[in-house]
Every structure is written in C-alpha cells, then in structure tokens.
A and B are shown apart, each in its own frame.
Chain A
Amino acid sequence: MHAPVPKQNDPDSHEALLAVLQSAPPTHGVNIRSMSVAPSVVGGASGYALVILLMATLLATVAVAGLMLGSVPIPGGTAVAILANLALGDTLVEPYWRAVHETIVVQTRMPRVVLAALVGASLGVTGMTIQSIVRNPLAGPSILGVSSGAATGAVVVMRWGLLGFGVFTLHISAFLGGLVTLFAVFWVARTGGHITPTRLVLAGVAMSAILSALTSLIVLTSPDPQLASRVLFWTLGGFGTAQWKLIPVPLAALAIGLGVMLVQARRLNLLMAGDESAVALGLNVQRFRQTMFVLAAALIGITVAVAGVIGFVGLIMPHIVRFLVGADHRRALPAVALLGASFTIGADLVARTVIAPLELPVGIVTALAGGPFFIWLLRRDARGLGGSR
C-alpha cells in the first residue's frame, strides 16, 4: 500500500531494534545483554578514569610544589614528610626537619595551597554551571556581576569602615555586596516572570560596569592614599590572607555546591540543548535556572569574599575539560573541579615567586595565562564558541 522503500537494515535486525526500543527496564526479563548493539567504547569509562587520575596527579604535584617553593625553599621530600607526620604522628614519621620548616609548611603555605585549590575548584564548577544556565560558552562567573558586587562591598567597608565582624569584616561585606548584586541582576533580568539567558548576561554585564565604576569612584575620592593598593587585592584577587580559620566556609560551600550540581547534572545537560528542547525533555526550565543561578552566585560570592576576583579560571577551565572528557556534566564537573584547583594553585605559585619577595595579585597571572588561551580558542574554533545561532 505504501511506496516501496529500500531498507538499509535486514528485517530481523530492524525488528529486533524496534523490540528493544519498546522494551521496559530489565526487571521484566528483557535480555538486552544479548543484543548485538553495544554502547560506544570511545571515550568510555576507562578513558575517563585515566583522565581523572592524571588530573588528580597533576593536582597533587602542583600542591606539593606549592609547599616547596617560596622565600625559604623546602625540599619536596621534607614537605611530604611533614604532611605525613601531621597525619600519622611522630611514632610513624619521625621529625628530622627544622621546626621553622614545619611552621612554614603547615601554617603558611598549606592553608594557602588549600584555599587556592578550593577557590579554583569553585570557580571551575560555577563557570561550567553558569555557561550551561545562560547557554553561552563565553560566559564566566564574573558575567553575573556578583564578582564586581563583592569587590564593591569590600571597598565600601575599607573606605568608611562600616560593619563590625572582627577579622572577617571584609570577607562578610564582600559576600553581602555579591548577594545584593545577585538580587539586583535577578530583578533586572526577570521580566514577566521569565529569565532568558540573554537578559541574564546583559543584566550582569550592565551591573558589572556600574559597580566597577562605583569602586573606582570610591577609591579615587578617598582621602586614604593606601586604599588603591589595598583594593587591588579584591579586584585582582590573592591568597595572601590565607590562614586555616578561613578554610571551613569555602570548603563547605564547595562541597554543597558541587554536590548539588552533580545531583542536577542531567538537568544541566538538558539546558545545553536550549529551552525548548529542555522543556520537551521534561525539565521545568524557569525554576531550575533560577535555583542554579542562586547556587552559583552564592558560591562565587564566597570565593570572592575569601580571595577577591580571580578572572578566567571559570571561563577557561570548562573549555579544556569539555575538550578532554566531553560536555556531559556528570563527567565534566569532577574534572573541572580538579583542573580549576591545579590551575589556581599554579597561578598563585607564579604570583608569589616571579617578583619575590614582592607578590603579584593572582588575577594578573590568571588573566595573562588565560586571556591569550581564550583568544586562541576563539580564533581556532569560531563556530565552536557560540558561533552558531
């Protein structure tokens, strides 16, 4: 009755494939293992495990380098032994090093390395999540304006000395600045109950510009000549203030943030297919986008509060990771956390050694390393980076 159509598959195979397509999950006894069609092995589980292993090794290597290098060089073996002693006690690892070395490793360099790792991992995972939320691979954590808001918050407190939270006053004011900006961006982007990716990006860009200008205005009109250099810490980032008591909050934030993102990884994948596809595939796009936006912004606010604005980590790392393990968030999020941590520890290492005994703001290093790479990506793959539609 219908026009004859040549079939590419032989009928048996075609029928078998159709039967699989109609099959319920295997609790009903469909023997799918006997099917000749096997899942693709390219980029499969073993390849992914290898990439993760290599990234973990890189992280460990960079972290040990971070403990070794500085104004007082400490041999790698000693640094590792100090760590082992810390974990296992004097009986198993007998101290043979000078006490001052232990103090430098444990009290100065380790919190710094750990903080850099936490901030780098947080920037990596939020960058990846934000790129999916706004469906734009050119977006980064700073695009939402929260970073600028946090810097402004810190500057306001430095200038007028408001708030009284003791040693954490600046951190808390930076976080509050980010939070206020978040709600402002949210309010601007939300029109008619909907938030579109484009409006979110534009609202963030506009808010960033306004807040950067405000920060500059406050600094330039300040009677305190030192303010400009102290502001650099917030606008270009740094780990110079790292100490152990600063670690718990970003650690908890990363654990919670990454945990939620991993739980929601399938849904983050759907957002990459566009709003219409995502709805058709069963996602409540508006609600999900708003939830993830708040989560990402809170995580950024905390990283800025502890380490200032560090650019390019959240923008670049997701690209490298997608190239290595693919765009599926279930695989890419753990990888981007590892790579972001390694990159940031490395950048901090460069920042505190190239002009020693002086220190560069780490944001200068990440921008100088990340910016050209980003431009290279743009030139190499114009179509790939948001070139289509």
Chain B
Amino acid sequence: MSVRPGTLDLRSVTVKAGRKTLVDRVSIHVREGEMVGLIGPNGAGKSSLLRTAYRINKPASGTVHVNGEDVWRQPTEWVARNVGAVLQDMPADFPLTVRDVVAMGRSAHKKLLEPDTAHDHALLAAAIALMGLAPFQDRAFRTLSGGERQRVLVARALVQQPSILVLDEPTNHLDIHHQLQLLHFLRGLQTTVVAALHDLNLAAMFCDRLCVLDQGHLVAEGTPESVLTSDLLRRVYRIEATIARHPETGNVWVMPSAAPPIG
C-alpha cells in the first residue's frame, strides 16, 4: 500500500466572515494527480476557499469532499491524514527545531502515547532531505529565513502522507530558484496538488488547470492557454498584457505592459 493521489470536490462553496461574503458559490473538482492553480487578485478569496479544505473556514453553505468524504463530517485527524496543508507561515514563540516542526506532521497518524517508529524517522529524514533542510534540521525554526520556513512547512505537510496537498501561496517567500524547484518538485510528486499562486507565468508553466477567482466568484477555469487571455487579465487584474509563448518551453507567457495608476 502506498499513498495514492486523491480528489478534492468543492461544491457550491460559500464562505462568509460576518456579513461579508468572501467566497460565493464556487464549485471546483480536482481529479487524482491533477495540479490545479488558484489565481486571482488580492482579496479574491483564494485563501478563504482553500481553508475550507483543511477545516479552518467552515463553509456557510456548500460542501467540501476529499476522496468522496465530506471533510466537515470527518474527524479532524482524518482530514490531516488526507489533506496536507502548507500554510503561509507559522508563529514561532517557542524554540522548536526544524525537526520538531516537521515531526508535527506525523501527529494525526499516531495513537496516544505511540512512540515514533523507524518508519516515522525515515519519513522525517526523507522529507527534510527532499526540501534541502538537512543542514538546518537541528536549528530553531524561528531563526530561519522566510524561504527556509516555507520549505519546513512543505516538509511537514509531506510527512502527513496526504493524498492531496493544499498550498497557500507556497512560493511567496522563495527566490526564483526555489520557486522553480518547489513547483517542479510538487509536479513530480504524483500527488493531487491545489495551490494558490500569484505568479501567473509559474502557474501556467506547472499547472494542468487554472481556476480564476475574482471577488469571491469563480470567473474562469481551464487550461492555462484557455484561461490566460488579454481580455481576462484586463477584466480581473485590470492590467494590459500581451500573451506570448515561451520560445523554448512553449508555455503561455504573460507580458504585462501597463496598469492604471493608483486611485
């Protein structure tokens, strides 16, 4: 038995904060092994939508199914075993080492008082090595740079052995080298991946499918080629851009030229 890619099924999900509607009846179906990018301007509701999948935001209406099960009807441990969430950051009030933080990912798999097994140690070591964290594994998490922290949180999600990885802007603290490296790594994982991304070109390069959120609505969905058009960028991001193809990889390439002045 090994970890198999799972499905994520958002059905008409609405998220509210008080009276404000952050996400309005969004339906997205993510298939096994697919890599889906969630894009959209600041405040479009990307994080709010993703947070329904790991039980932070309870949808005001609509359902979230992972591998056919409603995550809001399952125990929290079940969700943690199936959905690996990579958060934007983690508070660091305590002197936790990198290894301590990664080890937290095993918690949902352990019974009370069950000690760490050789299997757990092997998983930790593998995730730490894959994220290039071996040199810092005994350092305090709070002494790391933003980019290093982000890789620790990815490693923590990996040892959860989830069938779906949900990442909330996983590249925002990373330099271009680590951005490419992380997305390439996620692509090679053979796991279902849903990621909120800001960089449109990276999203186009690595994702099978893009979903565009704007003011809480799903306004476009499809392959990067079909979604990233001058017209959509003007409507959603209010920018002027030329769409080209990368001369070597053939990916769509967004070349912004102008945005209206502030105010």
Contact = CB atoms under 8 A, between A and B. Distances in A.
Interface of A: 1-3, 5, 8-9, 13-14, 17-18, 20-26, 28, 30, 32-33, 35, 37-40, 42-43, 131-132, 135-137, 262-264, 266-267, 269-270, 272-274, 276-277, 279-284, 322-323, 326-328, 383-384, 386, 388-389
Interface in B109-142: 110, 112-113, 117-119, 121-127, 129-130, 132, 137-138, 142
B79 A282 contact: yes
B125 A35 contact: yes
Interface string B40-62: 00000000000000111000000
Contact of B125 (A3, A25, A26, A38): A38
Given A39-B121, A267-B107, A279-B55, A388 B249 contact: no
B37 interface: no
B212 interface: no
B4 to A, nearest CB: 9
Contact of A323 (B95, B107, B108, B110): B95
Given A279-B76, A281-B105, A22 B85 contact: no
A277 B206 contact: no
B91 interface: yes
A40 B105 contact: no
B125 A388 contact: no
Contact of A37 (B122, B132, B158, B249): B122
Contacts of B113: 262-263
Contacts of B123: 20-21, 23
Nearest to B122: A32
A136 B92 CA distance: 10
B96 A327 contact: yes
B126 A137 contact: no
Q: Which of B54, B92, B104, B123 has the most CB of A within 10 A?
A: B104
Given A14-B130, A137-B93, A21 B161 contact: yes
A34 to B, nearest CB: 10
Interface residues of B, number: 67
5 contacts: A5-B180, A32-B118, A137-B94, A281-B105, A327-B97
B99 interface: yes
Nearest to A37: B125
Contacts of A43: 97, 138
Given A2-B206, A35-B125, A279 B56 contact: yes
A1 B249 contact: yes
B124 to A, nearest CB: 7
B100 interface: yes
Nearest to A131: B94
Contacts of B83: 280
B1 interface: yes
Contact of A2 (B104, B161, B184): B184
